[in-house]
Structure 1
Amino acid sequence: MEHLPVEVIGNILSHISAARDVVLASATCRKWREAFRKHLRVLSFNSGDWHGFHDLSTSQIEILITRTIFQTSGLRSLLIIVDDLDEFSASVVMSWLLYTRDSLQELHYDVRTEPGLNVVEICGRQKLEKLTLAHDAIEQVDPNYHKFTSLRSLSLSYVHISEQDLSLLLAACRKLESLELIELDLSGPLEKVEVSAPYLRRFYMEEICLDKLVLEASNIEYLHLRDSNIEFFKVIGNGSLKKIMIDHSTMPHIEICDSAENLETIDFNNFTILPAVFYQLISKSLKLRTLRLWDVAFGEGNKVVDLETIALCCPLLSHLSLGCDLRDDELLPYCLGGSAHLVNMVYLKVGWSNTLKDEFVDLVEELLGRCPRIRKLSVDGVISGIKDHEDCLVLARFTTAIVRIMRKYIDVDVQFDFDN
């Protein structure tokens, strides 16, 4: 160890990252202390990983963090996560950010201060490539001043920001490749948020309510919307989208079909979509390999999904998951007419969330007959809805039918996952 260059020791300490462990390791000898001071690149303060954190007063914690940071030079990654039991002095936290901002490439900031701090104001126009903000406030964004010319990843969680400032902030991050927006406290009169990010590849949104969201991203590949309510959502792209996931969200008007020609995965869960939009999306997804429809409903018109159309439009489809709860008129939400086969299907998952009905097994058997290369069948269901003798009889008939199916398709691996 004594022959290791200080740069290598600094790299070792950077991989440890946790501040307490780094300080202890740097006390080994003079060479390790030098590596800590001059060659440490990553430092993490996380109250969840800090044993004895809550035994210290707020001022003691501030002093420890200040001393540790001010002994380093050239930090590239700084993580500060402090739970909401502590509220730090804004001037002290600002000193940490000012001391490190010229060299920082990555900042994960989740600190409550009194008064509040505008991290964008402090770190704008610096070298940041990845910025994660939580429980913070962003105000009065000036796109002519707050320019993140190197920022490639931005995550905002539980941040107070107006819709106008959000649009201006995203406009100032022209090189974004990854964007996460989680439970933002949005305010202001603006009814539309526009995101124009030509390099954006990944977009994740959770618990966001907006009247209108327009995402212009010519290189978008991954799109995930969760627990969100957006009246109008539109994606403007060049057909680069490969995976889309929407779950527990409400979007009466959605326009994503123009970006669907290279889609490989569609995952809809607890989501309502218009039939015309769905079939237009399917008709353009010629490269689709994975399709998951779980608790999906159509907003109007024919509310039954035509699996024949899916088979014809998606010849490469290999993984299919279907939630088979009955609709209000006691019909299954899927039909399989015609004679088209799912020739590349190797994995089929079916299940129900409410009450099991006899029609469920009929659909499963018919689907298996259309999948000559099927290798695995997964059956997921909830059996808590079985309350009377008739329900018990349905379960018994289901069990008998599944055994018969397993005997018929002996090369298919069948797995069950039941919840109470």
Structure 2
Amino acid sequence: MEHLPVEVIGNILSRLAAARDVVIASATCRKWREACKNHLQTLSFNSIDWPVYRDLTTSRLEILITQTIFQTTGLQCLSILMDDVDEFSAAPVIAWLMYTRESLRQLFYNVRTTPNVNILEKCGRQKLEILALAHNSITGVEPSYQKFPCLKSLCLSYVSISALDLSLLLSACPKIESLALVNPEIVMSDAQATMELTSPTLKDVYVEAISLDKFMLEADSLESLHIKDCTLELFELIGKGTLKHLKIDDVSVIHLDIGESTENLEVVDVSNFTIMWPKFYQMISKSSRLKRLRLWSVVFDDDDEIVDVETIAVCFPRLSHLSLSYDLRDGLLHYGLQGSSQLQNVAVLELGWTLITDIFSHWVGGLLDRCPNLKKLVIHGVVSETKNNEECQTLANFTSYIVRLMRKYIHVEVQFEYE
């Protein structure tokens, strides 16, 4: 070990990341202390990693972090995540940021301070590429001054920010590619909750737990959009048809518009969502490159609507992974097996139920007949802890049916996942 260059030792310590481990390892000898001081790139303080952080007084913890940071000279990644710790004083936090900001490339920051520290002011106009903020407030964004010329990824979790400041912040990041908004507190200037975001460079957008009247996103380069646990009256995506991945999970939206240029869509994943199938299908019907389609726990706006497997087979010829959650209401199966077109490229088929009936067994068999090149079948089910005799018998009949069916499809791997 004594023959290792200090640069290599610095790389080893950087892979440890956790401040406690780095300090212990660097105490090995003078060479390791030198590596820690001059070549350490990554340092992390996380109250989850080391519960002792929670037992220390705030002032003692501030001193500990200050001493550790100030023993380094070129940190590129700094993570300070103190979820269960009392508020820090602003002064030491500002000192940490000012000391490291010229070399930092990545900052993960979840520290409550009194008063609030303006992270944008301290870290703007530097080389930061990744910024993740949590439980902070952002006010008065000045794009001309608080510019982030190198920032590619921005994550705001439980952050208070106005719709205008968020829009200005995006304009201050000319190279941003990834944006994540998790349960933000969006401050509105008028009665209508409206947010309009524009970025020509955004490729990946994740939005969780947002409630708005109107959300407009203009992103000409967007490739991935994931909306989760949101309540929206209107969501509109304006772009140039670059979208490849669309995921909607537990969203309430009255009007959804992802644009007409959907030719590049490869993945559509919709779950826990009320849907007007004809309108939604019209949006994705031109997606001839679609490889994965998932419709799970989808509620149809019209009880008479049917998703025709024939239509799926014809419109999405490249489909290789199909996931459908079986639903039966008033004797009507919402995923019809009409027609004879086959799903030639489907290699993985995931099927599920919430309430199993004998019809489900025949539905599974019908779908298997339509997938001549299937390699894997995954059955998802919900099993009640207090099953009556009829439910037990139905499950037993289904199991027997699957055993008989698999004798016909011996080349197909079968997997069961019950909740």
Matched residue, 1:102: 102
CA RMSD of aligned residues (A): 1.9
Deviation at 1:30, TM superposition (A): 2.4
Assess if the C-alpha contact under 8 Å between 1:377 and 1:412 holds in 2.
yes
Specify the code of the residue in structure 2 equivalent to 1:334. Answer: Y
Number of the residue aligned with 1:240? 242
Instruction: Tell whether the 8 Å contact from 2:167 to 2:197 is kept in structure 1 after alignment.
Output: yes
Specify whether residues 301 and 280 from structure 1 end up closer, same or farther in structure 2 by C-alpha distance, changes over 3 A only. Answer: farther
Within 2, Cα distance between the matches of 1:415 and 1:212?
Answer: 42
| Structure 1 position 158, deviation (Å) | 0.7
After superposition, give the CA deviation of every residue in 1:103-153 in whole Å (9 maximum; x if it has no partner): 211100001111222212221222111000001111111222221111000
Q: Please report the TM-score for the alignment, with normalisation by the length of structure 1.
A: 0.94
**1:384 CA drift (Å):** 1.0
Q: Which runs of 5 or more structure 2 residues have no equivalent in the other structure? A: none
C-alpha separation in 2, matches of 1:2 and 1:120: 42
Q: State yes or no: 1:340 paired with 2:341.
A: yes
- Asked if the contact 2:47–2:84 (Cα under 8 Å) also holds between the matched residues in 1, the reply is no
Q: Which residue of 2 aligns with 1:280?
A: 282
Look up the match of 2:84.
84
- The 1:292/1:114 distance shift into structure 2, 3 A limit, reads same
1:34 paired residue number: 34
Residues 54-104 of structure 1, C-alpha deviations (whole Å, 9 max, x = no match): 332111111111111122212111110112332111111111111111221
State the secondary structure of the residue aligned to 1:194: strand
Report the counterpart of residue 252 of structure 1 in structure 2: 254
The residue identity in structure 2 corresponding to 1:356 is I
Larger mean CA deviation between 47-56 and 126-135 belongs to 47-56
**SS at the partner of 1:251?**
strand
Question: Which aligned pairs between 1:259-270 and structure 2 lie closer than 5 A?
Answer: 259-270=261-272
Give the aligned partner of residue 207 of structure 1.
Answer: 209
Query: Residues 288-367 of structure 1: matches in 2 within 5 Å?
Result: 288-300=290-302, 302-327=304-329, 329-353=330-354, 355-367=355-367
Change over 3 Å in CA distance of 1:29–1:198 after alignment to 2: same
Tell me, in whole angstroms, the C-alpha distance in 1 between the residues paired with 2:390 and 2:61: 64
Native 8 Å contact 1:234 1:255 kept in 2: yes
Alignment of 1:63-82 (within 5 A): 63-82=63-82
Rounded Cα–Cα distance in structure 2 between residues aligned with 1:126 and 1:8:
27
Decide whether the 8 Å contact of 1:13 with 1:40 is kept in 2: yes
Give the superposition deviation at 1:389: 4.3
Measured after TM superposition, the shift of residue 249 of structure 1 is 0.9
Aligned equivalent of 2:196: 194
C-alpha distance after superposition, 1:276-314 (max 9, x if no partner): 332123311101111111111232485221111111000
Are the counterparts in 2 of residues 343 and 372 from structure 1 also a CA contact under 8 Å?
A: yes
Q: 1:388 Cα deviation (Å)?
A: 4.1
Change (3 A) 1:270 1:69: same
- Say which is worse superposed, 183-192 or 263-272, in terms of deviation: 183-192
SS in 1 for 2:405: helix
CA distance in 1, matches of 2:303, 2:361: 26
Q: Is the 1:235–1:259 Cα contact (8 Å) retained in structure 2? A: no
One-letter amino acid of the structure 1 residue matched with residue 341 of structure 2: A
> Does the 8 A contact of 2:272 with 2:296 survive in 1?
yes
- 2-structure distance, mates of 1:275, 1:347: 23
Q: Give the residue type in structure 1 aligned to 2:26.
A: S
| CA–CA separation in structure 2 for the residues paired with 1:148 and 1:350 | 46
